[in-house]
Structure 1
Amino acid sequence: MMIRLRYSLLSAALALCCLSAQAQQTDGLQQRMTSDEFKAAGLDKLSPQELQSLDGWLSAHGKVTTRVVTKVVTETGKPMFYPDQGKRTKIIAHVAGHFSGWSEGKVIKLDNGQTWKHVGDEQPSCMSGENPTAKIKPSLMGSWLMFVDGCNDTVHVERVN
């Protein structure tokens, strides 16, 4: 269910980006720039006809025709399918205070200063405890899984701070 939601959100974001890019190509410089940027470039000194001529030229010549393809590979030359995964590492800490199990949207504070929120719909059974160990590991599509000692399964979480 979470994966379908993420794919739906990704598709919607991609569609909005395409619409935004198309809108920017048809807008003039004055609509695409802030008033400070417009003045800093000296474009406020142009007559309306000069500005219209410049907008027309940019519309005709401003498109980039070269295509850049970037491949992310390891030092050995093998492709990396999730390049950001290399930066994400497993976290082991303790829940700060009493832990009584999971519920949707529950926020967990750890003794290392991090705060994590339960974002999945999983609700594994857990035993209550004081300062249990929490293990957080990277998962697919940029998500995270947390396991708390005394629980029988992991839950999806996202970092709050």
Structure 2
Amino acid sequence: MMIKHSLAIHLLIIASCLLVAGSSLANQSFSSLEERMTGREFRETGLYKLSDEELAALNRWIRQRSLAEGETGATVIDPDTASTTPQDARGLRESSSAREPIRSRIVGTFDGWRGDTEFELENGMVWRQAEVGTFAIRAVENPEVQIRPGMFGAWRLRVEGYNSQVRVERIR
């Protein structure tokens, strides 16, 4: 009983922290805790111990609290940058697109990643390195890359011809 009570308090603290961080989430549609957290964060916070019903109840509580505090989830679209053609939303948190692998090329010279590297692709997507680590190679021009979906909403980038890969998150 004490463990469940402690876990409930811990979860309420986490939920409160997520609500405080709502300023950045206010312009996004609601996403569940599973979508907001990495797999590691999900395990470290103990949320994996919850049943499906308990997790759904916690997500419902956060959604209701967010709406009560005025988070509409509406986003403002700049008409100057809006496109009339559908955009590829794979990798974006609010995306409901299929999690299919992405093949493209890095724009320009590529010589590896260094901990905070951004990857601009020919297809217009921009991805950022989401884990610590470095990988250095001799500079190559416009290498082909594949970005594959992983567990817990993660994506992994691999440069064609090399075995190393890095976890990435889409920023545009």
- Quote how far apart the aligned CAs of 1:126 are: 2.7
Q: Could you tell me the percent identity over the aligned residues?
A: 26
1:68 is matched with none
TM-score normalized by the length of structure 1 = 0.50
Tell me the residue number matched to 2:109. 98
- Superimposed CA distance per residue, residues 34-65 of structure 1 (whole angstroms, 9 cap, x where no aligned partner): 7xxxxxxxxxxxxxxxxxxxxxxxxxxxxxxx
Task: Give me the TM-score of the superposition, normalised by structure 2.
Answer: 0.48
SS at match of 1:126: strand
User: Once superposed, what is the RMSD of the aligned Cα atoms?
Assistant: 3.7
Instruction: Give structure 2 stretches of 5+ with no counterpart.
Output: 1-37, 48-53, 71-94
What residue number does 1:130 align with?
Answer: 141
Deviation at 1:117, TM superposition (A): 0.4
> SS state of the match for residue 7, structure 1?
helix
How many Å separate the matches in 2 of 1:90 and 1:106? 20
1:116 equivalent to 2:152? Answer no
Name which of 151, 160, 170 aligns with 1:159: 170
Residue 92 to residue 9, structure 1, CA distance change in 2 (3 Å): farther
Higher strand share: 2
Larger RCO (alpha carbons 8 Å, 6+ apart):
2
Candidates 23, 43, 67, aligned match of 1:7: 43
Structure 1: state its 5+ residue gaps: 26-31, 35-83
Report the CA distance shift for 1:96/1:132 in structure 2 as closer, same or farther (over 3 A): same
Which of the pair has more CA radius of gyration?
Answer: 1
What letter is aligned with 2:40? R
Matched length: 102
